Amino acid sequence: MKRVVVCMAVAVFLLLNWRALVFSETDKSVEDVMKEEGLITEQEYNAAKKHRIYLHEEQPLQAQLAEPLKAHTWELGTEVSHITYKEPGVMEEKGMMYGIVGSYTYHDNFMLKADGRFSYGQVDYTGSGTMDNIGDYILEFRGVGGYDFSVFTASTLTPYIGIGYRYLNDDFAGTTSTGASGYEREQSYFYSPIGIETSTELKNGWSIGAILEYDIFWSGKNKSHFSDASPTYNDLEFNQDKGYGYRGSIKFQKKGEKLDFVIEPFIRYWNIKQSDQDLLRINGIPYAYYVEPNNNSTEIGCKLAVKF
């Protein structure tokens, strides 16, 4: 996973610097060098400079700045992803998720953004036997604020920080292939996203951008409905206070007359440490203490959206 973070950081650097790397403003022309060496006169230098043929239209580079961002932007779309949830040495679930996403963003040098998503799918379980087609859904809401910086040419860099909430419902009630009883699980995370977003304008209405984000995990709660396995069991609640997450994406955007179109491949990752203990009772009689073990989830997918 560290390799993914490094690759995303390199991608952000290249997105911000590609014009400067390709069209360096410090490069000297042939006539500049010849004038410095005394090989041509001032008159010959001016004539050569006047008739110089540029290989690209962006000269001079310092005249190009990023276009001001729209003050109000709405985004609506859909996403498809593959999620893998693991409790190492205990169990694994994986499958496809299908969702809808939406956001509102305000720009006026500073940036404010609220976004949300809902996704649903079916995952397959492997652990104490197997079980297929388990219904899962995820709800997530976030609010962030940041500041827009114009950097280099035609690029904008926006660092941001905020607060987020993520809810996962895993309807694992039923019986596995070995006869083990499953139960519904609910997970809730409160966290703070802190990251950077970049955008660089290209030709013909296209732009490319990237998001690199680290998620500070504040607290989590896991509710395991053991009563689904047996009515003699009580439900357990586990508190989680250690973990982290990160996410990244590459965004391709095409400007239209009324709508802009977005294609955005992404990755989202969570790593949550072992919870505290809760006591299982059978018919009200204390039986044993349980914990929610170390777990991680990786979601890789692509978003398709329109902006207006």
Q: What is the DSSP letter of 152?
A: T
What DSSP designation does 66 have? P
> Is the pLDDT score of 66 beyond 80?
no
pLDDT at 46: 72
Would the pLDDT of 57 be above 60? Answer: no
Residue 231, SS3 per DSSP? coil
Output 153 or 133, whichever has higher pLDDT.
133
Is pLDDT at 98 greater than 50 in this prediction? yes
Q: Which residues contact 307 (CB under 8 A, 6 or more apart)?
A: 73, 74, 75, 253, 259, 260, 261, 262
pLDDT band at 118 (very low <50, low <70, confident <90, very high): very high
Mean pLDDT in residue range 26-47? 63
pLDDT at 23 over 70: no
Question: Which residue, chain included where needed, has tokens 């955007």?
Answer: 253
Least confident residue range of 56-60, 247-251, 277-281? 56-60
Provide mean pLDDT across the span 269-291. Answer: 97
What does each C-alpha distance from 248 to 35, 187, 264, 301 come to in angstroms?
49, 22, 10, 11
Average pLDDT on 14-28 reads 44
Amino acid at 235: D
Q: State the pLDDT at residue 55.
A: 40
Mean of all residue pLDDT scores within the chain: 86
> What confidence score (pLDDT) does residue 50 get?
60
Lowest mean pLDDT among 67-76, 142-151, 279-288: 67-76
The residues, any chain, with a CB within 8 Å of residue 18's CB and separated by 6 or more, are 200
pTM for the structure as a whole: 0.78
Q: What is the pLDDT of residue 18?
A: 43
* 274-288 average pLDDT score: 96
Assigned token pair, 12: 């952000």
Q: Is the dihedral of CA 42, 46, 47, 49 positive or negative?
A: positive
70 pLDDT tier (thresholds 50, 70, 90) = confident
- Which pLDDT does position 281 carry in this prediction? 97
Tens-place pLDDT, residues 200-226: 999 999 999 999 999 999 999 999 999
Return the structure tokens found at 229.
Answer: 């396995």
Round to whole Å and give the CA distance between 174 and 232.
16
